[in-house]
Structure 1
Amino acid sequence: MTQTVLFWRRTDVHGLERMALGIEADRITATSSVVSLDAGGFRLDHRWLLSPDWHALSVEIERWNGAGHGALRLERHGRGWRVDGAERPDLDGAEEPDLSITPFCNTFPIRRVPETTDACLALDIAFIDGPALTVARSRQRYDRLGPRRLRYVDLGLSQGFEANLVVDDAGLVVTYEHLFERLTPSA
């Protein structure tokens, strides 16, 4: 198993994420904690199970804020999704989840965008609002600008939002314009 620890800093509000990413032959796991002063301040833990080809199978989320503790589980079910065990037909056909408070989810579609400049991928997603613990269908597009450079375009809930992204060789975000940057811990 390959184990990597990643850190991202929010650039628009005070916030930090620490993620442990494990890659095995038959699965990928990620366990992360986010602490943020956004939305009144919160801590959010999220645990992912992915297929070896980087498709999300499930995510479990726990949130602590001024209102107390909350939890949410999203899991793939055929061509759709279950939220806390209940089928959600409105999410049928959504290809991947996107958790609002982390750049990690961008990796799932980024890895599927062809490497040629000007290639693009549009997809429906199950958008998870981390602080609110709600799930809604949305749509987004990724445009390849060059090697390790993409443009994110929101076509759904936040229509009009766009950002340039720089990724590493694995498709993990290094910089996400307006929102995130990866940090390297000091030795």
Structure 2
Amino acid sequence: MTDERVLTWQVTESGGQETSWVELGASRLSARGEALGTSPRSYRLTYQLETAEEYVTTRLRVVAQGAGETRRLDLRRTAEGWTVDGVPRPDLADALDCDLGLSPLTNTMPIRRHGLHEEPGRHRFLMAFVAVPELVVRPSVQTYTHLETTADGARVRYESGDFASDLSVDREGLVVDYPQLGTRIRAERTQYR
């Protein structure tokens, strides 16, 4: 059975919003989404995300459009390693996940993989971080810590460098509120057999 949700966040950091059509399986996630932003400059972004077992990223395709320019990114992870537009990236070798900048969605994979929406734990990761709207990929060390279980889900602390934010996630580990970034404003759920 596949659980599909349509999630929309008001993304305060970009001055816009993001809507994502997310399919959650027992240990996989796939999503397609669209984001509009006005900061650091106006852009429209579309993406498709696929994971393998244990929510490990296999592919992220992104198109960003701005005034007079279109950028494309094809980020892939295989048994041989990561590639960015077909070019090997050995600096990402230890990463399991992508992290799409200005998007609350990609926080889901490490949270679900380690059950941080359900139980205590602290984990440090290397991520393939994608800057938006430039679509430049760089390694990023991030830490996720379960803070508490709540009536609606959990609170999980996200840390990267000097930045930290306490995320509120629902029972499925999907971000509801990400202080300094955005807040979910709509969620619809459909189940398919």
**What is the TM-score when the length of structure 1 is the normalising length?**
0.89
Q: Separation in 1 of the partners of 2:110 and 2:26? A: 20
- The answer as to whether partners of 2:5 and 2:187 remain within 8 angstroms in 1 is no
The aligned runs of 1:31-180 (5 Å cut-off) are 31-78=32-79, 80-111=81-112, 112-114=114-116, 115-117=118-120, 119-147=121-149, 148-154=154-160, 159-180=161-182
SS at match of 1:90: helix
- The answer as to whether partners of 1:5 and 1:21 remain within 8 angstroms in 2 is yes
Change (3 A) 1:54 1:14: same
Change (3 A) 1:95 1:25: closer
Q: Separation in 1 of the partners of 2:81 and 2:49? A: 17
- The answer as to whether partners of 2:8 and 2:184 remain within 8 angstroms in 1 is yes
Change (3 A) 1:52 1:19: same
Give the ranges of 4+ consecutive aligned residues of structure 1 lying more than 6 Å apart after TM superposition.
Answer: none
Indicate the RMSD between aligned Cα atoms, in angstroms.
Answer: 1.9
Deviation at 1:77, TM superposition (A): 2.1
Q: Separation in 2 of the partners of 1:53 and 1:105? A: 14
**What is the TM-score when the length of structure 2 is the normalising length?**
0.87
User: Can you give the 5+ residue segments of structure 1 that lack an aligned partner in the other structure?
Assistant: none
User: Can you give the 5+ residue segments of structure 2 that lack an aligned partner in the other structure?
Assistant: 189-193
Deviation at 1:23, TM superposition (A): 3.4
Partner of 1:6: 7
Deviation at 1:143, TM superposition (A): 1.1
The residue identity in structure 1 corresponding to 2:144 is Y
Deviation at 1:90, TM superposition (A): 1.3
SS at match of 2:40: helix
Q: Separation in 2 of the partners of 1:160 and 1:27? A: 31
> How many pairs does the alignment contain?
181
What percent identity do the matched residue pairs reach?
Answer: 31
Structure with higher RCO (Cα < 8 A, 6+ apart): 2
SS at match of 2:144: strand
